[in-house]
Amino acid sequence: MPRNERIFALLAAAMALLGACDGALGPDSEIPSPGNLRVLGRTDSTIMLGWSPVSGARSYELQRSLRATMTGPATIYLGDGTTFTDSGLDAGTPYYYMIRSIDALGAGPFSAVVTGTTLPAPVQFPSIPTGLGLASGGWNALTLSWNRVSGASSYELHRADAAAGPFALVYDGTSSSYEDDGGGEGLDPDTEYSYKVKAKNAAGSSEFSAVFSARTNVAPPPEPMNLRLLEATPTSLELTWDPTPRAEAYEVYRGDSEDGTFDLKVYDGETETCLDEYQIAPDRSYYYAVLAKNVSGSSPLSAVLSARTEAGAPRTPEGLSVSWSTWFSLSLAWGEVSGADAYEVYRSDSEEGPFSRLVYDGPDHSCVDDDELEIDAEYHYKVLAKNSHGPSALSAAVGGRTESGIPDPPTGLALVWAGGHHLGLAWSAAPEATGYEVYRDNSAEGGFGERVYEGDSTSCEVADLDLRSTHYFKVRVLTALGPSGLSTPICGSTTDGLPPAPGGFEVTGASAHSLTLSWEAAIDAVTYVLSRSTAEDGSYTQVYAGTDLLYLDDDEGAGLAGGTTYYYKLYATSPEGDGPAAGPVWYTTGDVEASITIH
């Protein structure tokens, strides 16, 4: 090529490269763009494009963008060919192309935009499922599960009666678990089955997994047969029944009638015999049914058996205990015995006996008192049950001790209310008390020499105290044997003497032209002042001042206006001043007598 032509070609190439840097620049030459820009072929990662040659073109510039508007284009080809394969693309993605010609004067205009879309990525065969195993088992079904496979759209589970096959399809679906119940007919009990699974998708199927074998449980046992009585005594019934196939254990239930509810379980064991001694009374009928069970479930209850105990003396009482004690008495209790008409309690001064002194003969089995005992003395007791057939044996011995002569101080001493000049106290009642004494002091460590109460009540009011003063109190119990020690002290403080807002303030009666209001007494209150208004935040007018806890407001006989809402406030007064107000409470009168609605 002559030197001038080479310079011209280099200049044209430079101009073309400059134009390639920005597709938005205008054309430098009037050379037309290539015609028939088109997609010749495509794969999942390439698009092959072709175009018609242009007379006078020295090269072509092909640009690509991810947008149809060709914003942010990239030059992917600059050469003199009429085909180009664009590679390294994403599968299933649209791409946009335009092309222009370059001659000695520079680059011409771009062509119209052409779209090409890569093919979707090829689907891969799924891998073989792993983890095939038993999720849960039963006697007529097995639940299998396996690990999900990435890319799998469904699974096939096949079953065979032996690990070597032949296998048949039992499940085709998307889940990675399946309960095989033989198509609804149930699998055979106590039978081994083999399984294998494969994964599937649009590309095809994986190979089968390794074979997994599992065994169904044995079937539940049938109903036990021939339930019958072996032996009866006055206080027990022994039953037996025939061995039941597949039974691992049995349960025996007792009812009160042949058609009744059998919900009292009296036996749960592996042998075919049952001895029922639970609260069994002589000469009485009982009803029984038995079921068999194993790992797979339980049988139905058997036919009902009616069995009767023999007539005889009752069983020996159990649970004898001393439930309460005082200085002079002990209270006894024990478990009730079925079939017993009465009980006898015997006492001894020692655990070894003899238990020869009868201290009770009667029908009770609790709160039986043995009185006129010595103070702080130990006694021992035995009990027997009896009926028309005779007595039971004596029970095991139990011991008890009467209280000592010095009572414990009362418990629960507490301050229950406080006023300006008085305090209210209360405490728990003490056994054998004939009275109580309360003592006061100014210090918890003081001598408590001032007695402020003596009486038989378990509460008292301490009066004539100073305003805003602190006091300490102790209490003791008085008995026939003397007083107890003083209790632990408590502290209480008087108030400033102003009464609190009266509690329980409410409308308790209403008519068309009157309202009745009531309230509870307030500590330190001397009088109560009631005011009324027709607006909650309005001006209140005093309508009552006095000592009563109830007031009928009928506007001093003139009558309240019907259909009007009235608001009330109430406060108490004392020599120290006025307390805070309660309320407002309100009520709307009617034109006729109305039922009460409290606001």
Domain-located, residue 408: no
Q: What percent of the chain has pLDDT over 70?
A: 94
Domain-located, residue 92: yes
Confidence class of residue 349 from pLDDT cuts 50, 70 and 90? very high
Q: Judge if 274 and 343 occupy the same domain.
A: no
pLDDT at 409 over 90: yes
Domain-located, residue 313: no
Query: In CATH, what number is assigned to the domain containing residue 420?
Result: 2.60.40.10
Q: Judge if 107 and 36 occupy the same domain.
A: yes
pLDDT of residue 192: 96
Q: Measured between alpha carbons, how far is 532 from 549 in angstroms, rounded to an integer?
A: 16
Lookup: tokens for 416: 């229950």
Instruction: Calculate mean pLDDT across residues 504-519.
Output: 95
Closest CA to 118 of 152, 98, 93, 143: 93
Which residues have a Cβ under 8 Å from the Cβ of 14 and sit 6 or more positions away? none
pLDDT of residue 11: 39
- What is the count of structural domains for the chain? 6
Q: Judge if 298 and 235 occupy the same domain.
A: yes
Q: Measured between alpha carbons, how far is 144 from 194 in angstroms, rounded to an integer?
A: 11
Instruction: Calculate mean pLDDT across residues 459-468.
Output: 95
Buried b (16+ CB within 10 A) or exposed e, 248-284: eebbbbbbeeeeeebeeebbeeeebebebeeebbbee
pLDDT of residue 169: 97
Q: Judge if 476 and 535 occupy the same domain.
A: no
Domain-located, residue 138: yes
Question: 180 has which bridge partners?
Answer: 142
Q: Measured between alpha carbons, how far is 61 from 46 in angstroms, rounded to an integer?
A: 18
Q: Measured between alpha carbons, how far is 14 from 416 in angstroms, rounded to an integer?
A: 106
pLDDT at 24 over 60: no
Q: Judge if 9 and 66 occupy the same domain.
A: yes
| Higher-confidence position of 15 and 60 | 60
Q: What range does the domain containing 473 cover?
A: 414-493
pLDDT of residue 1: 40
Instruction: Calculate mean pLDDT across residues 311-335.
Output: 91
Q: Judge if 33 and 109 occupy the same domain.
A: yes
| Higher-confidence position of 198 and 594 | 198
Q: Judge if 236 and 174 occupy the same domain.
A: no
Q: Give the count of alpha carbons within 13 A of 31, CB side only.
A: 24
Q: Of 170, 186, 215, at which residue does a domain stop?
A: 215
Lookup: tokens for 102: 């370059």
Q: Are 291 and 301 in contact (CB under 8 A)?
A: yes
First CA to last CA distance, the chain: 112
Q: Judge if 488 and 529 occupy the same domain.
A: no
Domain-located, residue 409: no
Instruction: Provide the strand spans (E) within 326-455.
Output: 330-333, 342-348, 357-362, 368-370, 378-387, 390-391, 398-401, 414-418, 423-426, 433-441, 450-455
| Higher-confidence position of 44 and 598 | 44
Per-residue pLDDT tens for 368-382? Answer: 899 888 888 999 999
Lookup: tokens for 341: 């008409």
Return the amino acid letter for 86.
Answer: D
Q: Of 308, 330, 349, at which residue does a domain stop?
A: 308
Lookup: tokens for 133: 């195993």
Q: Of 185, 215, 245, at which residue does a domain stop?
A: 215
Quick one: which H or E segment has residue 462?
strand 459-462
Q: Judge if 12 and 101 occupy the same domain.
A: yes
Q: Judge if 52 and 111 occupy the same domain.
A: yes
Question: 331 has which bridge partners?
Answer: 324, 369
pLDDT at 153 over 90: yes
